[in-house]
Amino acid sequence: PVHLYGQCAPMDEIRKIADEFNLLVIEDNAQAIDGHGATFKQGELSDAVCTSFIIQKNLGTFGDGGAIWTNRQDVNDTVRKLRNHGSTQREHHSFGYNSRLDDLHAGVLSAKLKHIKEWTDRRIEIADRYTEGLTTCNFIDLPHARPGYRHVFHLYVVETKTPEEREKLLDYLVKNGVDAKTHYSIAIHQQEGYPWGKDARIAGPLTNAEKNAACCISLPIFPELTDEEVDYTIDVLRKYKAKAS
């Protein structure tokens, strides 16, 4: 499961399905570091957790990087070999990669790690301010946090009612000085590189995925954003509502 935009997937429900069908569970935590569920922490209900330290993540270094953590010894042993050309010491035991995190990037992450809770708390404050200020903007659907979950808001994503409305609203925001963007605007199964012909298939319609990809807008959110800047974005959206009414 992917902890998309900063909110953990319902891992307790996923774990039950995995146990029933004897499946491995690997969490994608690239966007949700410092997040947790109502009854679980990341990694407690899975076989492994993957995360990303690329610069734009909530905990990012100044370039590329990533990590895997696990409670399983066999997964730990395999990953440690894979990251180092398939080697543990002098001998190469298997296929592998050069995926070692260098000391410089590790040093940057160590320095930033002590601030992650403070930065996350600020993201949550900004998200709450957006949500409170945009409740009357009924032309967009706002994000919500599951009860008891710590949603860390890597992105604050709103959704328009139609793809056409998304393009008009995005254009209006950008023209009025709001650095709004679209993320993942092409659904995975619609990507040209999706492995059709290699046992990939669609079992049914993917209406929600297609609508989500076509209608989502990410509003600015990062710990250094000021309340005044958040309020400006809210004001621009309210003016768009008045203009469209």
CA distances from 236 to 131, 134, 216 (A): 14, 10, 17
What does 72-94 look like in DSSP terms, one character per residue?
Answer: -HHHHHHHHHHTBTTBSSSSB-S
The pLDDT value given to residue 191:
86
- Residue 58 banded pLDDT, cuts 50, 70, 90: very high
> Is the pLDDT at 97 greater than 80, yes or no?
no
CA-CA distance, 157 to 176, in Å (whole number)? Answer: 18
CA-CA distance, 158 to 160, in Å (whole number)? Answer: 7
- Provide mean pLDDT across the span 83-111: 81
Q: Which two tokens stand for residue 42?
A: 């990341």
Residues above pLDDT 90, as percent of the chain: 79
How many angstroms separate the first and last alpha carbons of the chain? 39
Q: Side chain identity at 43, as an amino acid letter?
A: G
Q: Which two tokens stand for residue 231?
A: 């309020």
pLDDT digit string (tens) for 116-159? 999 999 999 999 999 999 999 999 999 999 999 999 999 999 99
| Beta pairing partners, 140 | 160
CA-CA distance, 16 to 31, in Å (whole number)? Answer: 24
- Residue 198 banded pLDDT, cuts 50, 70, 90: low
> Is the pLDDT at 74 greater than 80, yes or no?
yes
Residues 19/9, Cβ–Cβ less than 8 Å:
no
The pLDDT value given to residue 81:
84
The pLDDT value given to residue 100:
82
**What's the half-sphere exposure (Cβ side, CA atoms, 13 Å) at 213?**
13
Full set of structural domains in the chain with CATH: 4-113 (3.40.640.10), 116-244 (3.90.1150.10)
> Is the pLDDT at 196 greater than 70, yes or no?
no
> Is the pLDDT at 162 greater than 80, yes or no?
yes
CA-CA distance, 87 to 66, in Å (whole number)? Answer: 19
How would you list the strands of the sheet with 26-28, edge to edge?
Answer: 26-28, 48-52, 66-69
pLDDT digit string (tens) for 16-54? 999 999 999 999 999 999 999 999 999 999 999 999 999
Phi, psi of 220 (to 5 degrees): -60, 130
